[in-house]
Amino acid sequence: MTPPPGISAIGTTAAGATATEQASPGLANEDVATRLRIAINRMQRRLRQQSLAGLSPAQASALGSVNRLGSPTLGELAATEQVQPPTMTRMVSSLIEAGVVTRVTDDTDRRSARVRITPAGLRTLERIRTLKNAFLVRRLSELSPEDQGHALELVELLEHLLVEP
């Protein structure tokens, strides 16, 4: 992996100073936060592009939400996906056509419909996860052993950042 101009592989400038030593800690943290946010967003976009398994990004997201929520109503699913109910109705119809979800009548309120994932939907989610992992494994294998070690350290740091204080 080639570092940005003026930065060595271990995060120091060509002159030997770290980015933190060159700027005030507040500015350095702000720069790191900005770069981290951009990198995470780009990685998420690349993972989405690599792994849709024939679904649109919105459909794949909705399918994952159905799986997480269990058997949501269309309204619950629309709220989770932050879309209007008519949009979710159309999306669920396309997912039903694809055979990855079914619409069932709510046992407690016969006027309400719920959405359930099908076995084909579970297989599709597993395929999406497999494609994402394969993409990452492929990219990690292109790194030197030293950079692979740095990648592991980065994962550990990111996991640490996600722990609530």
Residue 24: pLDDT band with limits 50, 70, 90: low
Token pair, residue 121, equals 């939907």
Q: How many helices (H) and strands (E) does the chain have?
A: 7, 2
Report pLDDT digits (tens) over 101-116: 999 987 888 888 899 9
Would you call 160 helix, strand, or coil by DSSP? helix
**C-alpha span between 112 and 144 (Å, rounded):** 55
Report pLDDT digits (tens) over 48-80: 887 777 888 889 999 999 999 999 999 999 999
Report pLDDT digits (tens) over 112-157: 889 999 999 999 999 998 988 999 999 999 999 999 999 999 999 9
Contact (CB, 8 A) for 14 and 6 = yes
Average pLDDT on 30-52 reads 88
- Token pair 């069932």 in the structure block, residue: 104
Q: Say whether pLDDT at 18 is over 60.
A: no
Structural fold of domain 57-125: Arc Repressor Mutant, subunit A (1.10.10)
Contact (CB, 8 A) for 63 and 57 = no
Q: What residue type is 148 in one-letter code?
A: Q
Q: What is the pTM of this model?
A: 0.68
